[in-house]
Structure 1
Amino acid sequence: MIARAIGRLALLALLPLSLATAAALFAATTERLHEAKQTFHLHNAALADLFARMAERALLAGDQASLRALARELVADGDIERVTLHNANGGTLLHERRPLRATRGSGDGSPPLVIERDLSAGPTEGAMPAGMRMRVEVSTQRLDAARDAIVHEGLLLAGLSLLALLLGVAGTLHAVGRPLHRTLRRLAQATSLPLARRDAWQALEGGVNELVRTRQTQRDAVPTHDEAAIAELRATVEDLELRNARLDLARRQAEQTTRFKSEFLANMSHEIRTPLNGVLGFIELLGKTPLDPTQQGYLNTVGASAQNLTVLLNDILDFSRIEAGKLDLVRRPFDLREVLDNAVRLFAPAARVKGLSLVLDVAPEVPAELIGDSARLVQIVSNLVSNAVKFTDRGSVEVAVGVRSGTEAGPRLLLDFTVRDTGIGIAPQDQRRLFDAFDQLHAAPSRRQGGSGLGLAICQRLIRMMEGEIAVESSPGCGTTFVFSLLFERLPSTRETLRAPGALQVLAVCGDAALLNALGHILALRGIVLSACERLAEAVATIERLPATLPVLVFVDLHGLEDSAGALAERIRSVPPAAARRWVLIGDDDADATLRPAIAPGVERLERPPLSREVLSLVDAMPAASAVPVEADEAGAPGTGMRVLLADDNLINRQLARIFLTQLGAVVDEVADGAQAVAAGGRQGYDLILLDLHMPVLDGLAAARQLRDGGPNRDTPIVALSGDAEPVDPRAQRAAGIDRHLRKPITGDALREVLGWSRPSAADEQRPQAAPATTPQLPPPATLP
C-alpha cells in the first residue's frame, strides 16, 4: 500500500520536473545551433567580401598573377572550396577550387553554401565593367560537425539531469515514506480502522479524521471537567489575593508595632533613668561618709552595677530613638583633643588592671577646634575602646586620628579614626553580623564579657548619620582594627602657641612605638621635635652633652622599662641638677609610689595615656619657654597654602619632616618610594617636592626624571634629601631635574628656608640656584625606632 502510494507520488513529482528540464535543455541546444550557424555564415561572408575587394584591385591593375595567387590562398585553408569570376557575357575569368579533396554536397546531401557578389557595384563603382560577378562555394562540413557535437552534448546533459532528478526524488520520497509508514502504523494502533488494506492517502485521511472525531467526542463527553478546572483556578487566584492583602495588613501592623515598641522603650528608658540617677547620686554621697572596708566594697559593687545599668539604658534609649527617627545631631564647636582625651582616659584604669598599653595619637595636622556633635563622637569612641579593652588580655589598645587626604584645605574635612587592639580577634563568619542589633558573637570570650549587643549597631548608625562609614579588619588571635570616618566643619583659624626653634630639648625613654608617635604629635603642636632613647642611660648621656642652660624635658615610660625603681632613681639623681631640666614619669600609681620617695623633688608624673593638655602644660611651664602667639594661617608661616609631596622610605624621617612642614603651615602628602611619588605627582600639582635619593622601587633621581617628563609637576621645585657622607654629584642632580639638595639630619630652619625659596612669587620670577642648604650641628638625639 505504501509502496504504491510512494510510486504514484514519485511519478507525480518526476513528470513535471522532467518536462521542465527537457524544455530547458531543448531551448539551450536550439540557441547554440543557431549561434554556430550564424557565426559560420558571418565568418565566410567576411572572407568573401575581403577577396572581392582585393580581386577588384588586381583586375583594375591587370595583375592576373596576383589575382590567381589570392584565389589559391583563399581555397587553401578554411571552408571555401571554389572561387569563380564571371564577366558580363558569362565567360569565366578565374576559376580556382581546392585540389585533392572531395567537396560536400554530392555524397551526404548537404549542399554547399554559395556566396555571390557583384564586383561592378563595389566602392569604385564605374571603374569595373558592368556584369562582373564573383561566386564562392563554401563547404558546410565543419558546420555539420559542430551541429552534431551540440546535439550530442544536449542529449548527454539531458540524461544526467534526468538521473539527478531520479536520485533526488527517490531520496525525498524515501525520507517522506518512512515517517508516513510510522504515522500510518500509529494511526492503526490508535484507531479501529483497517488501514493496512486501504490506500495510503485515504488511510491517512481516515485516521486523522478518526482522531479528530475521538478528540471531539472526549471533549463533548467531559464539558464539566474544564469548567471545574477554571473554577478551581479562579478560587486559587482569589485566595492568593486574600493572602496578599492579609500579608500587607500584617506588615503594616508589624511596622506599627515596631514603632510603638521603640516609643515604649524610649519612654520606659526615661522613666527608669530618673530613679537610677537618684541611686547613683546617693551612692556617691554615701561614699563620702565613714565606711569600713567591707561596706566600702559593697558600695563599690553597687556603684559599678548601677553604672552598667546606666550604660545599658543609654544604649536602649539611643537605639530606640535612632530606629524611630527621633535622634537629632547637635552641631556646635568643640575641642577635639580635649574631647578624645576625656573619652579615652576613662578606660585607663581598666587597661592598667589588665597591663595593657592604652595610647591616644592625634596627628598634628588635625585642627584643634571643629564643629560637630561631640557627644556622639564620644559615644562612638567610648564604645569601640571599651570593646577593645574588654576583649584584649595582653598587648595594647591604640586610638589614632588623622585627616583624610584631599580634605585638608576645605571648609569641611573628613577625619579617619582607627581603634586597634591586640585582642582575641573576630572570625570572618562573625564579622558579617557584627553590626546587627541585639546580637552577640557566640564565642566563649564574647559571652563571658556580656553586653546588650547594641553598641556596635548604634555606632554604625551614628557614623552613617554623621556622613561617615565604618569597617573592620580582624582575624582570630591577631587582634581587631576598627576604622571609621566622620565629617566635621572647620572653625576659622585659631591662635596656636609655637615655641621658638631650639628653645627646648625633649627626650623620651620609651620602647612603645605607638606612645612615641602620640608624644611626638602632641609636641609638634608647639613646634618641638621629640628625640627617642631606647634606654635610660642613653638619655642621661644625651643630657650630659647638652649645655646646662638649654631647657630639657625627659619623658620616661615606666611600662616595660628594664631599670628597677632603685636604678632609675639613681640614674636620675646622677644627672647634674639644673633649673631648666625636668623629668616626667609616665605610669600607674603603684610605680610612681615606689619611685617618688627615691627621686628628688621636681619629678612629674603622668598617667597612661598622657593627655594633650597635660603634656602641653608641662612644655609651656618650662623656664625658657618664651612662647609668642602667632596665627597658624598667617602669611608669616612660609608654607601657608603650599602643598608639599614628601617621598622617603624611612617612616621616622617622614614623620620628622612632616611635623616640621606642618608647623610651617604646609599641607603634606607622604609616599614611601619613588614609584608612589611619580604616581602622586601625576595626579595633582604640588608647590614643592622632597625626594629621598635612596628609595626602593625607584630612586630619587629616576623619580625626578619621570616627574620632569610631563604632567602637572613639570616645573615644580624638587629638593633632594640624603644622608650620604660623600657629596652627591650636582651635575647628575641637575640632569635629573633636581633644583636643590638637603643633607640629613633635616632641621626646621632648613625646611623653613626651602619653603620660602620655593614659594611662587606674584611675578613668577626665576628662582636663583642656591647652594645646598646645611643643617646646624646640634647634639645628635637618638632616632625614633
Structure 2
Amino acid sequence: MQMNIQNITLDDIKERLTTTLFNLSAAFAIITLIASLSRISTLGFMPVMALHTVIVISMIVIVIFSKNIHYTYRGQFLCITLFIGGVAGLHNFGLSAGGTIFLYGCSIISAMILNFRAAIAFNVGGAAALILYLVFINKLGYTFKVDVGEYGLRTSSWLVYILSYVFINSVVLFLVIRVNQYLIKLSELQKANLTRTEVKLDYSQTILNTVLNNLPFAILWKDADSNYVGANKQFLAQMGLKNLSDIAGSKDSDFLPNDQVQKIQKMEQTLIGDREAKIRYHDIFEDEQGNRKHREIMRIGMHSDNGELVGLLVSFNDITEFKRLEEKAQKAMEQATAANTAKSRFLANISHELRTPMNGVYGLLDLCLHTEVTEQQADYLLKASTSIRLLTRIINDLLDLSKIEANQLQLEQIPFSFKELLVDAENLFRKDAEAKGLQLELDYYGKDDLVPIGDPTRISQIIFNLLSNAIKFTDSGKVKVTIKSLEYSGILTTKIYVQDSGKGIADENLDKIFDAFTQAELATTRESGGSGLGLSIVKKLVEQMEGLMSVKSSVGVGTKFCITLRHKQQGKEKRVDRKKRNLIDLKGKSILVVDDNLINIEIAGAILTQNGAETHSAYNGVEAIEFLNKQTVDLVLLDIAMPVMDGCECIKRIRAMRSLRNLPVIALTANVMASEVETYRELGFDTYIPKPYERAHLLETIANYL
C-alpha cells in the first residue's frame, strides 16, 4: 500500500518501520530457532533453546495480531527480545556467537522506533553486560558452555569488543539521533504547512460557498463525463432537493425528458471541442404552481492550463421579472410613441392653424405699410407688425423646443455671413433698445471673405434670443453683441458675446435660467414678459451644434454670455445685397401661387406684383396641374394643406411630368415640423418658406431659384 507523501507523519514512518523490522526479525528468529534445535544431538537441549522457542512463538502471535497492537509496544517487545537474546548469547558463547550483534541491533532499533532514552538505556545495558562478563572471566574464572578457544578468554579481546561496541554504537546513535531530529522538524514543519493549507482551504471554501450560495441565480457543475458534481443552494431549491448528495453522480437524463437531454448533449459536445466556446440561450418553462417562467441559461467548459477539459459549468438565471419589466417598458414605449405621434400631429395641426391666419395678418400689415398712409397710421401698423413678429417668435420657440426634445430638429449646412446676421439683429432690435433708452452696440471682428458653412437660421435664433433677453432685463446702460471669427486649417472658430448692464443673475439661479419655462424669478416673467423658453432653446441649439456656452453674471452689474461655435468654411459666396432684398426685380418672371386661402394668395400676389412679377393663382393641386398643362411659368409657390389635391400629391404629379421636372417649386406652408420638412425634400420641393413669412425672406428665396 503506497503512502500519501503529503499526509505522512513521523509516527507513520515509525509504525511502518517497526512493522517491517518486526516481521523480518520474526522470520530470522524462526530460522535461527530451527538451526539451534538442529544442534540438540550435538550440544544437548540447553535452557537458552527453550527461551528462544518462547520468543519465536510470542513474535508469531504478535505478527498475527499486529493491527491491534500499537507499534510502540511491538517495538519495545522487539528491542527487549534482542537485548535478552544478546545477553543470553554472551552468557553461553562469549564473543564467538552473535550476542554482541543482537546488542548492537537492540540499541540501533530502539533509537529508530522508540526514543533516544530507550536507545541510551539499551546501549549502556549492552556495555555493562560486556564489562560484567569480562569481570566474571578474569576474577571469578567463569567459563562458557562451549569451548571457543583462548582468544575468547583474553582480557584484551574483551576490551577491544567493549570499545568497538561503545564507539560504533555511539556513532550510529549520533547519526540516528540527527536523522531523527531532522525528521521530527520536517514532520512538524510539514504538519504546520498542512495546517495552514487546511486553514486556507477552509477559508477559500467558505468564501466560495458563500459566493455561490448568495448568487442571484442557480449554478451546477459537472465532471468531464457530464456527471453532476456540485451545485449551489439556488439550484437545489429549484430542483426541490436539500442536499448535494441527492444529485452527486446524477446525469441530465435523471431529471429531464429525452428530447431536452439530446439538445444538451449536442451543446456540451461543442463546449468539449472548443475551450473558448460559451453557449447562452433563453428558456421558457412552468414552475410547480404552473406559472410561466423565463430563464437565461449559459454553459461553458472548464479547462486546465494545458487545455484538458475538467468539467462543465451551467448557470440558470431567472429573468422572469426582467422580461415582465421589458414587456412593460415595451408597452410604455409603444404608448409613449403613440402619445408622441399624437403630440406631433397636434403640434403640426396647431402650427398650421396658428400660422395661416397669422400669415394673413402679417401679410396685410406689410401690404398696408407699402401704401400711402399717414404717419400715425404707419406707427400703428409698425406696432401691430412688431406684435405679430413677437407672437410668431413665441410660437416658433414652442415648436422648436418640441422638435429639439424629440431629436427632430435638423441643422442646415449652407454658406452664410456672421456680419449679415448682426445686420438682421440690429434691424430687428434697434427700435426696442431705443424705446428703453438703451445703447445698442453690434461689432464684428473677422475677415470679410470668411464664409462659414452652417445653419444661419438657428444661429440667428441664438443671437436673437440672447439679445432679446438682454434688452428685456436691462433698464439703463447698454447692450453689446460682439462676434469674433478666426480661421485655422479650414475651420472657423467663432465666439459670440452678448453683454448687458442689466439686473444680473444671482449665483444660485444661474443653473435654473436654462430650464424650459423658467426665469430667474417668477416676478420677472410678469414684469418683463416672455415664455421662459429662450435660454433653454439657446442651450439646446448650442449643444446640437457641438458648441460651448458659458455665462457670467453679477447682481446689479450685468450679465455676459459667451457662445463658441466651430464651422467649416468655403470661399467667397455671391449673395443678394441685404439693402436690395426688398427691391428685387422680378420683371418678366411668371409665378404661380397655389393656396386654398384667398388672403394668402392676395398677400403673395401683391408682394410679387409690387416687385414686377406676373402672378397667377390656383386654389388646389388639381387646378395647379391644369394650369401648368396649359401655360408655362418660371416658379411655383405651393401650399401643402389644400382640399381636392394637397401639395404633396401635386408635387408628385409635377415631377412625374418630363417638361416640369426642373421647374422650381417652393413649399409655402404653415406645416413646418421637422418630419414634414424632410418629406417635402424627398417629394421634390426645392425648398420651403414657413408661414408667416417676411417680404424680404420671400423675395430672397424666390430670387435664389430664378
> Would you tell me which structure has more helix in proportion to its own residues?
2
TM (norm. structure 2) is 0.37
**TM-score (ref. length: structure 1):** 0.34
